[in-house]
Amino acid sequence: MLRIICLMLLPLSVCITAPAQQLTTVTESGYYISPAYAGRQRISFAVVATNPFPDQFASRPGVRVTARASDGSILATQEFTSGGIPPQGKIAFCKEMLVDETPAQVEIRPLNAGYEPTSFKPSEFLAFEVFNVTPKMESGDRLRITGEIKNPYPGETGAWITFLYRDGNGKLLGGHTAYESTIPSKEAMPFEFYVDMATFPPHTKSIDRIAFSHNNFQSSWHKLLRTQ
């Protein structure tokens, strides 16, 4: 089944054909492998995903991460999902997976994004502001990060805050995602979280940040968007 999306561009009409089971649009991904416990290895990965459509909501964007040994056998494989992506929006999420040995290859493949037609416009989805971010080494093995996040909506909501680690060439190496469950309407909420330095790539030269709502479904957006 195909869904037809038409964008009216005067004087031309351009139509985009989008599969009903459209995969998550992953624009970037990266990972870092570090020792865990009992001889196991930790794969810390980051994914940046977008929604290219102006009239669809991606309700369950996700990826499947697969770690393989040198002979191609599977060491571990798991599906991971994140908060929904508004029309023409962007998210970034970071997670971890444990394996029994150092993988020779790590695959990050997009899954069905769960696109749904929506009456909400891209301009209705407002940006969270993250500011006053301060990193501080607490000890030799963990980094303390504090800051504040401001909720732009007229109702209380929660948000994901993702920090993306990049090398000197801008390549994505990994990252860390934190969650703030309750941010009052139009107010800023302080946050604090810790990063295990074993999961922090040593070649990191810069850190980006992306904040987005935790709402996965349009029904949970309705209260926020229709009370503005």
Show which of 82, 117, 152 is a domain's final residue: 117
Asked if the model's pLDDT at residue 208 lies above 50, the reply is yes
Q: What is the pLDDT of residue 8?
A: 32
Q: What is the CATH number of the domain that holds 65?
A: 2.60.40.10
Q: Are residues 129 and 55 in the same domain?
A: no
Q: Are residues 136 and 89 in the same domain?
A: no
Local structure of residue 100 (DSSP, 8 states): S
Q: What is the pLDDT of residue 215?
A: 82
Q: Quick one: pLDDT band at residue 46, thresholds 50, 70, 90? A: very high
Nearest to 152 by CA among 50, 51, 48, 228: 228
* Amino acid at the residue 153: Y
Within a domain: residue 183? yes
- Determine the Cα–Cα distance for residues 113 and 25; give it in Å rounded to an integer: 8
Q: Quick one: pLDDT band at residue 220, thresholds 50, 70, 90? A: confident
Q: Which domain holds residue 139?
A: 122-225
* Global model pTM greater than 0.85: yes
Q: What is the pLDDT of residue 227?
A: 62
Q: What is the pLDDT of residue 21?
A: 63
Helix or strand run (H / E) with residue 123: none
Within a domain: residue 17? no
Total tally of structural domains belonging to the chain: 2
pLDDT tens, residue by residue, 81-115: 998 999 999 999 999 999 999 999 999 999 999 99
Please count the other Cβ atoms lying within 10 Å of the Cβ belonging to residue 86.
25
Look-up of token digits 């500011």: 131
Q: Are residues 218 and 126 in the same domain?
A: yes
pLDDT tens, residue by residue, 143-188: 999 999 999 998 899 999 999 999 999 999 999 999 999 999 999 9
